[in-house]
Amino acid sequence: MTPTTLTSPTLLSPATLNALADALVEQGWYVGQNVIDAELCHTLHHELSHLAHHNGLSEAGIGRGSEHHLRKDIRGDAIRWLNRESAAQRQYLAGMAELQQTLNQALFLGLFEYEAHFAHYPPGAFYQRHVDSFRGRANRVVSTVGYLTPSWPADGGGEMVIYHPENSEQEAARVTPEAGTFACFLSATVPHEVLPTRVARASIAGWFRRNASLGGILDPAR
């Protein structure tokens, strides 16, 4: 029997990987449209919609460990960490492993781990401007966002605004969260936000981490 889906060998083409590494060096961020396979986006979107409709998601919070708490005034998405339970998740994560290898070879970033979650933003939800590295611990080094919603409407809102790393008042890019688009940026230096969405918004947010355990104290991932 031949598999009917998910046969594409790579998630990000060699050309995309090169462009991405160059953009990270030159400006600290990268955005590409139509870079994630359409069929994979469709399958992942279906998986996330199913979770959203069957109580499979948790309200997202801010902070880690004992400092983790809900703040709907800061972020309004519901999430589920990827755990390799489906072929689609495994294909996405395999693509991120390739990206990790590229970034380590090209930029010597020493990335050693990747964590990612599905994110569902219901209508009205947003995520206030922030940077992704937790204070005092620069363990998240590179952030990724893969967008999954097909046919994003022109008036749908929900764009991710990327601000200039050196001039954080200045908008550098506005990303429409359309299926196939992939964004990547330096976690500690690139402020960004999700504008209020008018329609349900589906994505996978992920982070490459460096081992940041200090003095034998385990640095928890989440």
Ligand X SMILES: O=C(O)CCC(=O)C(=O)O
In the region spanning residues 123 to 142, those forming contacts with Fe ion, defined by CB under 5 A, are 132
Taking CB under 6 A as the rule, does residue 179 contact ligand X? no
Largest CA-CA distance found in the chain, in angstroms, rounded: 55
Contact 112, 144 (CB under 8 A): no
User: CA 134 from chain center: how many Å?
Assistant: 16
Tokens 């359309």 -> residue = 178
Taking CB under 6 A as the rule, does residue 160 contact ligand X? yes
Rounded to an integer, what distance in angstroms lies between the CA atom of residue 122 and that of residue 30?
26
Q: CB 105 → Fe ion: shortest distance, Å? A: 25
In the region spanning residues 92 to 151, those forming contacts with ligand X, defined by CB under 6 A, are 119, 127, 132, 145
Residue from 100, 205, 208, 209 touching ligand X (CB under 6 A): that is 205
Q: Count the alpha carbons within 13 Å of 163 in the hemisphere toward its beta carbon.
A: 18
Taking CB under 5 A as the rule, does residue 77 contact Fe ion? no
Residue nearest to ligand X (CB): 160
Whose Cβ is closer to ligand X: residue 11's or residue 202's?
A: 202
- Specify the amino acid at residue 48: L
Residue from 78, 82, 203, 209 touching ligand X (CB under 6 A): that is 203
Which three-class secondary structure state does DSSP give residue 157?
A: strand
Which three-class secondary structure state does DSSP give residue 197?
A: strand
Q: CB 8 → ligand X: shortest distance, Å? A: 23
3-state helix, strand, coil in the chain (%, to 5): 25, 30, 45
Q: CB 9 → ligand X: shortest distance, Å? A: 27
Binding site for ligand X (CB under 6 A): 119, 127, 132, 145, 160, 192, 194, 203, 205
